[in-house]
Structure 1
Amino acid sequence: MIKSRIVVGVDGSDHATAAVGWAAAEASRRGAELRVMAAYYRERSIPGPSAKRTAEEHAAENLRRAVAQAHAAAPDIEVRCLALPGYAVPMLVHAAEEAAMVVVGSRHEGGLPVLPFGSVSSQVATQAKCCVVVVRGHYDPEAGPVVAGVDGNGSSAVVGRAFEEASLHHTDVQAVTVGERTGPDDPLDAGLDAELDPWREKYPDVHAHREFVDGRADKVLVQRSRAARMVVVGPRTHGYEGLMLGSIGSRLLRRSSCPVVIAR
């Protein structure tokens, strides 16, 4: 069952503006509430017209602009906002526990406080318990398929998310397995393609095909992102939930030409 809340983190930057637009459109498609959140340092002055302008006031202003942007993108949705003192990453990770999805911009910029190690987007993508979308590059809702990076091992969440998004966006799924071709036989046998059949039955409106591509997964998926509506991959945890994102996901967060979905 899809939860009824989408969370988006904002800081007043252009990256956050893109994230708000994407999240608002997604909330409209799902009939979900949109919760816009900002973090701020409790004792910090922000340069501006008034020397006494506080970080809390700056965060409140960012929230007001974000709510207006969300309503402009999707007038039908319910939008709530919240500013909290502290770091953005723990705030968004905590919010993820009661959300269907957390949406962030492609990199930290502006007034959203970030922990010293790494960006908000990479940390939230690594630690959140729900699906995370990092909005970057183009995000034309009317162009391109949903590309799913499928490795044949524990990819059910990735494929399921790809089919769900493709159904909501009225587009196709390209399930891509990347590896090294070691012989003349087709590495993508009938058994691997059959893994998509349960999802084809659940989402009969979605056309899907699976292909094997010779090469490096990160490079192939970055290349495919140029013509995709979004790219869906899974987290790499090595047995420890949220330990790391992995080289493929990390490269996509830096280089993808479209939004990246970390499926859980």
Structure 2
Amino acid sequence: MIKTRIVVGVDGSAQGAAAVGWAATEAVRRGAELRILTAYYRRRSTPGSTPTHSAEEHAGAIVQRAVAQARAAAPGVEVKCQALPGYAVPVLLHAAEESALLVVGGRHEGGLPILPIASVSSQVATQARCSVVVVRGRYGPEAGAVVAGLDDGPSSSTVAGHAFEEASLHDTGVEAVTVGGAKAPDPLGADLDAQLDPWREKYPEVRASREYVDGRADKVLVQRSRSARLMVVGPRTHGFQGLMLGSIGSRLLQRSGCPVLIAR
């Protein structure tokens, strides 16, 4: 990887703590620096009001607690932290511009006072320029393979590449799943796969399989996530600027049984 920084957004919630643990372990595995961020709203002072530094102190306590969580999850992790004034989404998106990976927690009720974390995770997954991981569900050494949702779109090579990279880092296999739309290759050429073969050559240690499944893509991938270590999907181009996940990625962010990586 060219960039060697992983950024994780925290808000003091259990979901944020899970994101910190996942990100810290990944940082050690990749030899990357971990940067922990939170955002807080700085209100203007008025006569007789409580000093504004209380919001800063609260945010500072959140990131310090997250640092302790990171070091407990991954002793030896190189970690820095910041509590920045502003809205959560712009703060995280700005940090993502110089990062290899942006990590946030999954859906829960409440969260940051400016924006519920469900909205934060969805927006950063949609808009970030780097790959994003939304930490949900089960994960860890005993978890299953990396599942890649592939279609015939332009992002499929990127999705496959990230899936193989993650599988190599975690010493597991890749299960590539294509749901509807694309047809399985001719049996006479079943040993050839234009989307997977270049990555099989680059990562010969990674076991990889390909499956073509009928059904609704979002339902199939959510079901597969329940036995996966990580789901890898791609963004969908929309309009002049920006990216959107579409219904498949959005449903995964809400219901996946494991962390979801939006590959860029």
TM-score normalised by the chain length of structure 1: 0.90
Structural mapping, 1:68-217, within 5 Å: 68-107=68-107, 112-115=112-115, 119-154=119-154, 155-179=156-180, 187-189=184-186, 190=189, 193-217=193-217
User: What's the secondary structure of 2:237's corresponding residue?
Assistant: coil
Please, what is the CA RMSD of the aligned residues?
Answer: 2.2
Identity %: 73
1:142 Cα deviation from its structure 2 partner: 3.1
Residue in 1 aligned with 2:231? 231
Rounded to whole Å, the distance in 1 between the matches of 2:258 and 2:221 is 11
Change beyond 3 A, Cα 1:240–1:132: farther
Query: Is 1:13 the equivalent of 2:16?
Result: no
| Structure 1 stretches of 4+ moved >3 Å | 108-111, 113-118, 188-192
Q: Which moved more, 1:135-144 or 1:216-225?
A: 135-144
Deviations 1:81-104 (A, max 9, x none): 011111110011111110000000
1:143 Cα deviation from its structure 2 partner: 1.6
Change beyond 3 A, Cα 1:236–1:81: same
Rounded to whole Å, the distance in 2 between the matches of 1:244 and 1:203 is 29
What is the identity, as a one-letter code, of the residue corresponding to 1:238?
Answer: H
What is the identity, as a one-letter code, of the residue corresponding to 2:257?
Answer: S
Rounded to whole Å, the distance in 1 between the matches of 2:77 and 2:180 is 42
Structural mapping, 1:16-35, within 5 Å: 16-35=16-35
User: Which consecutive residues of structure 1, in runs of 5 or more, have no partner in the other structure?
Assistant: 46-50
TM-score normalised by the chain length of structure 2: 0.90
User: Which consecutive residues of structure 2, in runs of 5 or more, have no partner in the other structure?
Assistant: none
Rounded to whole Å, the distance in 2 between the matches of 1:164 and 1:29 is 12
What is the identity, as a one-letter code, of the residue corresponding to 1:145?
Answer: A
Q: Which moved more, 1:12-21 or 1:237-246?
A: 237-246
Rounded to whole Å, the distance in 2 between the matches of 1:24 and 1:132 is 15
